[in-house]
Amino acid sequence: MNDDVKSASLAAASHEGPVAEIDLSALCANYAMIDHATPTAKVGAAVKCNAYGLGLSPVARALFERGCDEFFVVYAEEGAALRAALNDTAPHIYCFAGPSEDTLALYERAKLTPVINSLAQAQLWASRGNQPAAVHIDTGMNRIGAPLSEAAAISASLKEAGLEVSVVMSHLACASDPAHPKNEEQRALFVEAAQHFPGARLSLAASAGALMGKAYQFDLVRPGIALYGGSPFESDDDRIRNVVTLKARIVQLRDLQPGETVGYGAAYTATVPTRIASVALGYGDGYPRNSAPAGAAIVNGARSAIAGRISMDFITLDITDQKNPVKIGDYAEFFGPRLRLFEAALATHRSPYDLLTGLGGRVDHRYL
């Protein structure tokens, strides 16, 4: 073993900080579930933002091995990293940001498919690009994507250059609420937009749209959060399996008398004899600071509430009612199979999306 390997394995063996266990078989089970729920559409994967914080390379490789060959990121740089991780030129990699003067070379070198968001980007790709493009037409999100009024000109510009439009896409603003009338409005506008791109495959749905039934599925769906174990809806969805378990070790135990307080601001006061466990996880690791008092963790299979303020490196749990003995070194689970990501997000005033993408650099990722 060389010194680098030795010190890396020593660090892994003596890891004291928080751990995110990532169950790649559950990831693939979610992929299969979405595939099953979308019988006439192909399932791509949104792996932007480091696969929502889970790790681009292991996540994308597991999905690729499972049969996924269309991936979505935002930037060309992410696309190039993904191409290197997959080490295969066949899978399609779409970059939502679209091309710029600065990134054209990267698009070519890594064989990335740009998502054209404006007539200006279409003209740039028409003059300098040499591969098929996707086009994003905005249908009411008013974020990125070209306005419907530019669809004809974008189509003409790419066609003149002899460039194929392989996918035309749009993005739903209100799919977290399947009953929202904007979903149907956007669907109708999307169908209208698609008429400017004959022969292109149609893609409207992210996780929520894909799980909303046939009307939104079209030819290609682009789930992200549902692959990673989060519900895209305003309530939990038990079709989605947990993928990430966030856990951290108990580093101290302490018994308080009534009247004693816990943590910054003395925000928690014991009213009865109380046992507190301090856990090596804090807002510096991405567990939201405003999570008390609704936030909780699983210790030895039973639930304990957060007591007092969350600090950068530590969370204090009230373990007074734990039936099983709790020892230093035991793990507390902040989300996982026994405390759903959706529930943890609700309790911490977050969404499953920002709980996952917010996990900090000290969290050790372990792949199962």
Q: Supply φ then ψ for residue 182, to 5 degrees.
A: -65, -25
Which among 290, 280, 302, 264 has a CA at the least distance from the CA of 355?
Answer: 290
Contact flag: residue 207 with ligand PLP (CB under 6 A):
yes
Q: Which residue is nearest to ligand PLP (CB)?
A: 224
Among 83, 201, 222, 247, binds ligand PLP (CB under 6 A): 222
Catalytic residue status for 264: yes
Contact flag: residue 171 with ligand PLP (CB under 6 A):
yes
Q: How many residues bind ligand PLP (CB under 6 A)?
A: 12
Rounded-to-integer distance, Cα 248 and Cα 252, Å: 12
Interface map 339-368 toward ligand PLP (x if CB under 6 A): ------------------------------
Among 53, 79, 232, 336, binds ligand PLP (CB under 6 A): 232
Q: Which of 31, 48, 52, 107 is catalytic?
A: 48
Which residue lies nearer to ligand PLP by CB, 139 or 304?
139
Rounded-to-integer distance, Cα 186 and Cα 215, Å: 12
Which residue lies nearer to ligand PLP by CB, 157 or 207?
207
Residue written as tokens 């909780």?
296
Q: Which of 75, 94, 107, 264 is catalytic?
A: 264
Helix (H) / strand (E) element for 342: namely helix 341-347
The structure tokens listed for 16 are: 């004291």
Neighbouring C-beta atoms of residue 69, cutoff 10 Å: 16
Which residue lies nearer to ligand PLP by CB, 56 or 279?
56
Rounded-to-integer distance, Cα 129 and Cα 269, Å: 64
Span near ligand PLP by CB under 6 A; candidates 225-233, 235-243, 265-273, 276-284:
225-233
Which residue lies nearer to ligand PLP by CB, 229 or 232?
232
CB of 43 to ligand PLP, least distance (A): 11
What residues contact residue 237 under an 8 Å CB cut-off, 6+ apart? Answer: 211, 226, 231, 342
Contact flag: residue 31 with ligand PLP (CB under 6 A):
no
CB of 277 to ligand PLP, least distance (A): 34
Span near ligand PLP by CB under 6 A; candidates 26-34, 216-224, 256-264, 300-308:
216-224
Interface map 246-285 toward ligand PLP (x if CB under 6 A): ----------------------------------------
Contact flag: residue 46 with ligand PLP (CB under 6 A):
yes
Residues 67-96 binding ligand PLP (CB under 6 A) are 96
Which residue lies nearer to ligand PLP by CB, 117 or 245?
117
The structure tokens listed for 346 are: 């609700």
Which among 13, 24, 19, 54 has a CA at the least distance from the CA of 247?
Answer: 19
Among 225, 256, 262, 317, binds ligand PLP (CB under 6 A): 225
Catalytic residue status for 367: no
Contact flag: residue 231 with ligand PLP (CB under 6 A):
no
The structure tokens listed for 307 are: 């007591």
Rounded-to-integer distance, Cα 152 and Cα 322, Å: 65
The upper half-sphere exposure of residue 38, i.e. CA atoms within 13 Å in the direction of its Cβ, equals 29
Beta-strand (E) ranges in 236-289? 244-256, 261-262, 268-269, 274-279
The structure tokens listed for 227 are: 């692959």
Distances (CA, A) of 190 to 63, 119, 186, 195: 28, 18, 6, 9
List the catalytic residues. Answer: 48, 264
Report the interface residues with ligand PLP, using CB under 6 A: 46, 48, 96, 171, 206-207, 222-226, 232
